[in-house]
Amino acid sequence: MSLLAVSGLTKRYRRGGGTVAAVDGVAFAIEPGETLALAGPSGSGKSTIARLVLRLTEPDAGTIQFEGADFRSLGGSALRARRARLQMVFQDPLAAFNPRATVARVLDDPLRIHGIASRTERPRRIAALLERVGLGADLAPRAIHEISGGQRQRVAIARAIATKPSLIVLDEAVSALDVSVRGRILDLLLDLQATERIAYLFISHDLGVVRAVAHRLVILDAGRVAESGDARAVIGNPQSAIGRALVAAAPRLNRTTAP
Protein backbone atom coordinates (compact mmCIF):
# COMPACT_ATOMS: atom_id res chain seq x y z
CA MET A 1 0.00 0.00 0.00
CA SER A 2 1.26 3.46 -0.84
CA LEU A 3 2.40 5.74 1.95
CA LEU A 4 0.50 8.66 0.46
CA ALA A 5 -2.13 8.30 -2.23
CA VAL A 6 -3.80 11.41 -3.60
CA SER A 7 -6.56 11.30 -6.17
CA GLY A 8 -8.92 13.80 -7.75
CA LEU A 9 -7.35 16.60 -5.71
CA THR A 10 -9.03 19.88 -6.67
CA LYS A 11 -8.82 23.42 -5.35
CA ARG A 12 -10.65 26.32 -6.97
CA TYR A 13 -10.25 30.00 -6.21
CA ARG A 14 -12.73 32.69 -7.03
CA ARG A 15 -11.28 35.30 -9.32
CA GLY A 16 -13.34 38.12 -10.77
CA GLY A 17 -16.69 36.65 -11.76
CA GLY A 18 -15.70 33.01 -12.29
CA THR A 19 -13.56 30.43 -10.58
CA VAL A 20 -10.04 29.32 -11.44
CA ALA A 21 -8.88 25.81 -10.64
CA ALA A 22 -5.41 26.11 -9.10
CA VAL A 23 -5.32 22.33 -8.76
CA ASP A 24 -7.60 20.26 -10.98
CA GLY A 25 -8.05 16.54 -10.43
CA VAL A 26 -4.44 15.75 -9.56
CA ALA A 27 -3.54 12.16 -8.60
CA PHE A 28 -0.23 10.65 -7.50
CA ALA A 29 1.13 8.19 -4.96
CA ILE A 30 4.32 7.97 -2.91
CA GLU A 31 5.83 4.71 -1.66
CA PRO A 32 7.69 4.49 1.67
CA GLY A 33 11.26 5.76 1.43
CA GLU A 34 10.74 7.14 -2.06
CA THR A 35 11.18 10.66 -3.47
CA LEU A 36 8.42 11.92 -5.73
CA ALA A 37 9.13 15.24 -7.40
CA LEU A 38 6.45 17.69 -8.44
CA ALA A 39 7.79 20.00 -11.12
CA GLY A 40 6.15 22.67 -13.19
CA PRO A 41 6.33 26.34 -14.10
CA SER A 42 5.21 28.93 -11.57
CA GLY A 43 1.44 28.98 -11.25
CA SER A 44 1.15 25.29 -12.09
CA GLY A 45 -0.19 24.51 -8.62
CA LYS A 46 2.89 22.89 -7.03
CA SER A 47 2.81 24.82 -3.77
CA THR A 48 -0.98 24.64 -3.57
CA ILE A 49 -0.71 20.84 -3.73
CA ALA A 50 1.82 20.95 -0.88
CA ARG A 51 -0.58 22.98 1.24
CA LEU A 52 -3.52 20.72 0.34
CA VAL A 53 -1.63 17.53 1.20
CA LEU A 54 -0.64 19.02 4.56
CA ARG A 55 -4.21 20.23 5.20
CA LEU A 56 -2.96 23.82 5.54
CA THR A 57 -5.59 24.61 2.91
CA GLU A 58 -8.75 22.54 2.57
CA PRO A 59 -9.26 20.95 -0.86
CA ASP A 60 -12.60 21.34 -2.68
CA ALA A 61 -12.56 17.72 -3.79
CA GLY A 62 -10.37 14.64 -3.82
CA THR A 63 -9.07 12.03 -1.41
CA ILE A 64 -5.82 11.95 0.57
CA GLN A 65 -4.84 8.54 1.97
CA PHE A 66 -1.88 8.77 4.33
CA GLU A 67 -0.46 5.69 6.09
CA GLY A 68 -3.57 3.79 5.17
CA ALA A 69 -6.01 6.24 6.74
CA ASP A 70 -8.22 8.93 5.27
CA PHE A 71 -6.21 12.05 6.08
CA ARG A 72 -9.02 14.39 5.05
CA SER A 73 -11.47 13.01 7.59
CA LEU A 74 -9.17 13.82 10.51
CA GLY A 75 -9.79 16.92 12.56
CA GLY A 76 -8.81 18.61 15.81
CA SER A 77 -6.49 16.66 18.08
CA ALA A 78 -6.47 13.55 15.87
CA LEU A 79 -5.18 15.62 12.98
CA ARG A 80 -2.60 17.37 15.17
CA ALA A 81 -1.34 14.02 16.47
CA ARG A 82 -1.09 12.57 12.96
CA ARG A 83 0.87 15.62 11.76
CA ALA A 84 3.91 14.18 13.54
CA ARG A 85 4.19 11.69 10.66
CA LEU A 86 3.85 14.26 7.86
CA GLN A 87 6.24 17.20 8.01
CA MET A 88 7.24 20.09 5.80
CA VAL A 89 10.27 22.24 5.00
CA PHE A 90 9.56 25.66 3.52
CA GLN A 91 11.34 27.55 0.77
CA ASP A 92 12.39 30.61 2.75
CA PRO A 93 14.06 29.39 5.95
CA LEU A 94 13.85 32.85 7.52
CA ALA A 95 10.10 33.24 7.00
CA ALA A 96 9.46 29.69 8.22
CA PHE A 97 10.38 30.49 11.83
CA ASN A 98 8.92 32.87 14.36
CA PRO A 99 11.25 35.90 14.21
CA ARG A 100 11.53 35.83 18.01
CA ALA A 101 12.49 32.17 18.24
CA THR A 102 15.80 30.62 19.16
CA VAL A 103 17.10 27.43 17.59
CA ALA A 104 16.41 25.54 20.82
CA ARG A 105 12.78 26.68 20.98
CA VAL A 106 12.14 25.79 17.35
CA LEU A 107 13.30 22.23 18.03
CA ASP A 108 11.73 22.06 21.48
CA ASP A 109 8.18 22.70 20.19
CA PRO A 110 7.62 19.44 18.25
CA LEU A 111 9.24 17.36 21.00
CA ARG A 112 6.99 18.96 23.62
CA ILE A 113 3.77 18.96 21.56
CA HIS A 114 4.01 15.28 20.64
CA GLY A 115 5.30 14.25 24.06
CA ILE A 116 8.42 12.72 22.53
CA ALA A 117 10.77 13.68 25.33
CA SER A 118 10.38 14.92 28.90
CA ARG A 119 11.34 18.46 29.80
CA THR A 120 14.67 17.38 31.28
CA GLU A 121 15.48 15.11 28.39
CA ARG A 122 14.72 17.62 25.65
CA PRO A 123 18.00 19.62 25.65
CA ARG A 124 19.86 16.37 24.96
CA ARG A 125 17.43 15.48 22.17
CA ILE A 126 17.82 18.95 20.66
CA ALA A 127 21.61 18.58 20.68
CA ALA A 128 21.27 15.18 19.00
CA LEU A 129 18.96 16.59 16.32
CA LEU A 130 21.38 19.45 15.60
CA GLU A 131 24.21 16.96 15.32
CA ARG A 132 22.16 14.75 12.98
CA VAL A 133 21.77 17.63 10.49
CA GLY A 134 25.46 18.56 10.73
CA LEU A 135 25.23 21.48 13.15
CA GLY A 136 26.94 22.03 16.48
CA ALA A 137 24.95 21.78 19.71
CA ASP A 138 26.35 25.20 20.64
CA LEU A 139 23.93 26.69 18.07
CA ALA A 140 20.93 25.95 20.31
CA PRO A 141 20.79 29.22 22.28
CA ARG A 142 21.23 31.38 19.17
CA ALA A 143 18.36 33.39 17.68
CA ILE A 144 17.04 32.22 14.33
CA HIS A 145 17.95 35.53 12.65
CA GLU A 146 21.55 35.27 13.84
CA ILE A 147 22.46 32.12 11.89
CA SER A 148 23.13 31.74 8.16
CA GLY A 149 20.59 30.69 5.55
CA GLY A 150 22.15 27.26 5.12
CA GLN A 151 22.21 26.68 8.89
CA ARG A 152 18.60 27.81 9.09
CA GLN A 153 17.51 25.28 6.48
CA ARG A 154 19.37 22.58 8.41
CA VAL A 155 17.45 23.63 11.54
CA ALA A 156 14.23 23.42 9.51
CA ILE A 157 15.15 19.87 8.49
CA ALA A 158 16.02 19.03 12.11
CA ARG A 159 12.59 20.25 13.16
CA ALA A 160 10.93 18.21 10.42
CA ILE A 161 12.68 14.98 11.50
CA ALA A 162 12.16 15.64 15.25
CA THR A 163 8.85 13.77 15.24
CA LYS A 164 10.20 10.85 13.15
CA PRO A 165 7.93 11.42 10.15
CA SER A 166 7.43 8.97 7.31
CA LEU A 167 6.97 11.74 4.74
CA ILE A 168 8.41 15.24 4.44
CA VAL A 169 7.08 17.76 1.96
CA LEU A 170 9.95 19.89 0.67
CA ASP A 171 8.46 22.98 -0.97
CA GLU A 172 11.30 24.48 -3.03
CA ALA A 173 13.40 23.68 0.03
CA VAL A 174 16.74 24.30 -1.66
CA SER A 175 15.72 26.98 -4.18
CA ALA A 176 16.60 29.93 -1.94
CA LEU A 177 20.08 28.60 -1.14
CA ASP A 178 23.22 29.29 -3.11
CA VAL A 179 24.67 26.48 -5.18
CA SER A 180 27.39 25.18 -2.82
CA VAL A 181 25.05 25.14 0.18
CA ARG A 182 22.32 23.55 -1.93
CA GLY A 183 24.52 20.57 -2.78
CA ARG A 184 25.30 19.88 0.88
CA ILE A 185 21.63 20.17 1.91
CA LEU A 186 20.66 17.72 -0.86
CA ASP A 187 23.35 15.32 0.42
CA LEU A 188 21.89 15.62 3.92
CA LEU A 189 18.38 14.87 2.60
CA LEU A 190 19.62 11.81 0.70
CA ASP A 191 21.52 10.59 3.78
CA LEU A 192 18.40 10.99 5.98
CA GLN A 193 16.35 9.08 3.42
CA ALA A 194 18.87 6.25 3.31
CA THR A 195 19.08 5.88 7.11
CA GLU A 196 15.54 6.72 8.27
CA ARG A 197 13.61 5.61 5.18
CA ILE A 198 11.78 8.93 4.94
CA ALA A 199 9.78 9.58 1.78
CA TYR A 200 9.93 13.03 0.21
CA LEU A 201 7.41 14.99 -1.80
CA PHE A 202 9.97 17.19 -3.49
CA ILE A 203 8.56 20.32 -5.08
CA SER A 204 10.82 22.22 -7.43
CA HIS A 205 10.89 24.11 -10.69
CA ASP A 206 14.51 23.08 -11.27
CA LEU A 207 14.77 19.74 -13.11
CA GLY A 208 18.52 19.67 -12.50
CA VAL A 209 17.90 19.33 -8.77
CA VAL A 210 14.98 16.97 -9.35
CA ARG A 211 17.12 14.56 -11.36
CA ALA A 212 19.70 14.47 -8.55
CA VAL A 213 17.24 13.39 -5.84
CA ALA A 214 13.93 12.13 -7.26
CA HIS A 215 12.92 8.57 -8.08
CA ARG A 216 9.73 9.50 -9.83
CA LEU A 217 8.53 12.77 -11.33
CA VAL A 218 5.14 14.36 -11.92
CA ILE A 219 5.10 17.36 -14.25
CA LEU A 220 2.27 19.77 -13.69
CA ASP A 221 0.79 22.34 -16.00
CA ALA A 222 -2.00 24.73 -15.02
CA GLY A 223 -3.12 22.56 -12.12
CA ARG A 224 -3.22 19.25 -14.05
CA VAL A 225 -0.77 16.39 -14.40
CA ALA A 226 0.95 16.81 -17.77
CA GLU A 227 3.02 13.65 -17.51
CA SER A 228 4.55 11.40 -14.89
CA GLY A 229 6.92 8.49 -14.62
CA ASP A 230 10.47 7.50 -13.70
CA ALA A 231 12.36 10.77 -13.10
CA ARG A 232 15.31 10.03 -15.40
CA ALA A 233 13.05 8.70 -18.14
CA VAL A 234 10.78 11.72 -18.08
CA ILE A 235 13.68 14.18 -18.04
CA GLY A 236 15.55 12.26 -20.73
CA ASN A 237 12.57 12.04 -23.06
CA PRO A 238 9.76 14.41 -22.09
CA GLN A 239 6.47 13.70 -23.87
CA SER A 240 4.52 16.84 -23.01
CA ALA A 241 5.17 20.33 -24.35
CA ILE A 242 5.58 21.69 -20.82
CA GLY A 243 8.02 18.87 -20.00
CA ARG A 244 10.18 19.74 -23.02
CA ALA A 245 10.07 23.44 -22.05
CA LEU A 246 11.17 22.66 -18.47
CA VAL A 247 14.02 20.44 -19.66
CA ALA A 248 15.13 23.16 -22.07
CA ALA A 249 15.07 25.70 -19.25
CA ALA A 250 17.46 23.71 -17.04
CA PRO A 251 20.97 24.65 -18.22
CA ARG A 252 22.81 21.72 -16.65
CA LEU A 253 20.49 19.26 -18.35
CA ASN A 254 20.94 20.78 -21.82
CA ARG A 255 24.60 19.89 -21.76
CA THR A 256 23.94 16.24 -20.99
CA THR A 257 20.91 15.74 -23.22
CA ALA A 258 22.24 17.60 -26.29
CA PRO A 259 23.30 15.29 -29.15
Partner 1 sequence: MSRLHRFLRSPEAIAGTAILALLFAMALTAPLLFPGDPQAIAGPALLPPFQDWSLPLGTDRLGRDVLAELFHGARTSLAVGLSAAGAALLIGAVVGTLAGFAGGLIDEVLMRITDAFQTVPGFLLALAFVSIVGPSLGVVVAAIALGAWTGPARVARAEVLSIRERDYVAGARVIGMHPLEIAFREVLPNALPPVLALSSVIVAAAILTEAALSFLGLGDPNRVTWGAMIAEGRAVLRTTPFLSIIPGIALVLTVLGVYLAGEGVVETTAVRRSLS
- List residues binding partner 1 (CB under 8 A): 51, 54, 56, 80-81, 83-84, 86-88, 90, 92, 95-100, 109-110, 113-114, 159, 162-163
Residue 228 Cβ vs partner 1, minimum distance, rounded to whole Å:
26
Contact 161, 192 (CB under 8 A): yes
- Report in angstroms how near the CB of residue 226 gets to partner 1 at its nearest: 27
Residues 108 and 158 sit within 8 Å (Cβ to Cβ):
no
Closest contact distance (angstroms) between CB of 199 and partner 1 is 16
Q: Which is nearer to partner 1, 172 or 221 (CB)?
A: 172
Question: Minimum Å distance from CB 86 to partner 1?
Answer: 8
Cα–Cα distances (Å) from 53 to 44, 200, 201, 205, 249, in that order, read 16, 12, 10, 18, 28
Pick the closer one to partner 1 by CB: 192 or 242: 192
Beta carbon nearer to partner 1, 95 or 179: 95
Nearer to partner 1, 21 or 84 (CB): 84
Of 14 and 100, nearer to partner 1 (C-beta) is 100
- In degrees to the nearest 10, what's the CA dihedral of 88, 91, 95, 98? 20
Contact yes or no for 4/167 (Cβ under 8 A): yes
Residue with smaller CB distance to partner 1, 53 or 220: 53
56 or 241, CB closer to partner 1?
Answer: 56
Contact 205, 41 (CB under 8 A): yes
CB of 51 to partner 1, least distance (A): 8
Residue 6: CB minimum distance to partner 1, A: 17
CA distance 244 to 201: 22
We find the least distance from the C-beta atom of residue 16 to partner 1, in angstroms, to be: 21
CA atoms of 118 and 123, how far apart (whole Å): 10
Q: DSSP 3-state assignment of 42?
A: coil
Angstrom distance (rounded) from CA 41 to CA 25: 18
CB 213 within 8 A of CB 190: yes
> How do strand 216-221 and strand 224-230 relate by DSSP bridges?
antiparallel
From the list 259, 202, 213, the residue with the least C-alpha distance to 236 is 259
Amino acid at 27: A
